[in-house]
Amino acid sequence: IGVGLVGFGLFFLLFGVLLYFDSVLLAFGNLLFLSGLVFIIGFRRTFTFFFQRPKLKGTSFFFGGLVVVLMRWPILGMLLEAYGFISLFR
Q: In the chain, what are the domain boundaries?
A: 1-51, 52-89
Residue in 73, 60, 66 with CA at minimum distance from that of residue 33: 66
The whole-number average pLDDT for the span 63-89 is 94
Contact residues for 48 (Cβ-Cβ < 8 A; gap 6+): none
pLDDT of residue 89: 87
Average pLDDT of the chain is 95
Residue 89 vs residue 5, higher pLDDT: 5
The whole-number average pLDDT for the span 35-55 is 95
The whole-number average pLDDT for the span 9-21 is 94
- The pTM for the full model equals 0.88
Number of CB atoms found within 10 A of residue 13's CB: 20
Residue in 32, 36, 39, 30 with CA at minimum distance from that of residue 68: 30
Work out the percent of the chain whose per-residue pLDDT is above 70: 100
